Chains A and B, each alone.
Chain A
């Protein structure tokens, strides 16, 4: 019986340990990050985004509809097995936090399939884990000095200021797009209504005249 050669056995063992190491690496929640994207969702369309997340990572998905129709969209978040973690229909704004229960590809979709002709602009912010540390070797044994921890807390406070600014900007964009819509609608409506007014009043007069001009034989009482 030909046995496996020494090299082959070594390769097999290396392969086994390599697999285990990679699996372990995937398990360790690495430095995460945030993806903030604004995109346009056409009518009757669905767009999905995917991200590979390690187990135990705390993630937050936040979305807001900026322009379009009634400013609502369907959103759905699924874990690697297809189980639906979050599903909401016709929502304008929402924020959902979850901890990844298993490794794999998480998928979230935005759907505008209920709308027939309005396309929507959707903003979402998907935060996975913590932000990457400032220094590659952040896992230090010594504690932070007072200055450094003050810097860290200022950094966190400024991050929340920037976050609030983003939310404010999105709401203001919504209000501004409504105001601009209103402006164009008022312009079109006023011109259109003036035209209709003229057409109707002139038409009335000629119609009335036509009642009296043809019927000479039948007498028509006018106001008696």
Chain B
């Protein structure tokens, strides 16, 4: 009877644990699976002087229990961020749960790459990692309750601050848009120039080779006494 009594208790305990894990794993948050040695890269096209905050959490797949372990000490992720010119802006190792921040100094495509430090892990649970990732750019990166507490703003002041941040982001994006449009125009003009020069050059080559061909053949036939 004791066994029967404790059985449903254990089952309920497990259920509670599963539900707790479900809640703890984050009711909001996108996640994806990567292999242990796989590197996954994301691109953020951002204007100048924009802050990017990334939050991630990693869980490891346990082959025996066939679940994702809620947390694994010793599991770490290496985060590398490259700016549009290929220069490394941030290259650091964090734990299984971490937060990375960087500010762009050049507008353009920044590449954020994540991969795990899996030399230890190859022995245990094999193969799969679940990564919860949340990347916030610019105005979305601001934590307004924190700002309100720090600067002691009233509700209206905080709303005004949020609107100001949004407008600033719009302005930065428009500046970036002007820079991109200039690049686009340079590329189009360069193509235009190249097509023009190429067509002139091709005509000249054609005429020259035609003249050379005729002269060469004429001298050849004269030498053969056929003409």
Contacts and interface: CB of A to CB of B under 8 A. Distances in A.
Main secondary structure of the interface of A (DSSP, over half): helix
Contact of B9 (A11, A35, A52): A11
Interface stretch (B12-20, B69-77, B81-89, B116-124): B12-20
Contact of B173 (A47, A121, A162): A162
Interface stretch (A70-78, A80-88, A153-161): A153-161
Given A186-B191, A205-B217, A212-B226, A1 B1 contact: yes
15 contacts: A1-B1, A3-B1, A8-B6, A16-B12, A19-B15, A22-B20, A36-B137, A51-B31, A52-B25, A52-B29, A135-B148, A152-B159, A168-B177, A190-B202, A198-B209
A59 B97 CA distance: 27
Interface of B: 1-2, 5-6, 8-9, 12-13, 15-16, 19-20, 22-23, 25-33, 40-45, 133-135, 137, 139, 144-145, 148, 155-156, 158-160, 162-163, 166-167, 169-170, 173-174, 176-177, 180-181, 183-184, 187-188, 190-191, 194-195, 198, 201-202, 205-206, 209-210, 212-213, 216-217, 220-221, 224, 226
Contacts of B216: 205
Contacts of B205: 194, 197-198
Contact of B5 (A8, A49, A169): A8
Contacts of A50: 30-32
B223 to A, nearest CB: 10
Contact of A126 (B9, B30, B209): B30
B27 A154 contact: no
Given A37-B42, A48-B33, A183-B191, A18 B16 contact: yes
Contacts of A155: 159, 162-163, 166
A205 B42 contact: no
Interface residues of A, number: 75
Interface string A130-142: 0000111000000
B158 A134 contact: yes
Contacts of B135: 35-37
A147 B22 CA distance: 40
B45 A173 contact: yes
Given A39-B43, A148-B159, A186-B195, A23 B1 contact: no
Contacts of A8: 5-6, 9
A196 to B, nearest CB: 11
A175 B184 CA distance: 8
A187 interface: yes
A177 to B, nearest CB: 10
B189 to A, nearest CB: 10
A52 B29 CA distance: 7
A32 B19 CA distance: 19
A162 B45 contact: no
B19 A30 contact: no
B194 A51 contact: no
Given A8-B5, A201-B210, 16 more contacts: A11-B9, A30-B28, A35-B29, A48-B33, A52-B22, A52-B27, A52-B29, A134-B158, A148-B159, A151-B159, A152-B159, A169-B173, A169-B180, A176-B183, A190-B201, A201-B209
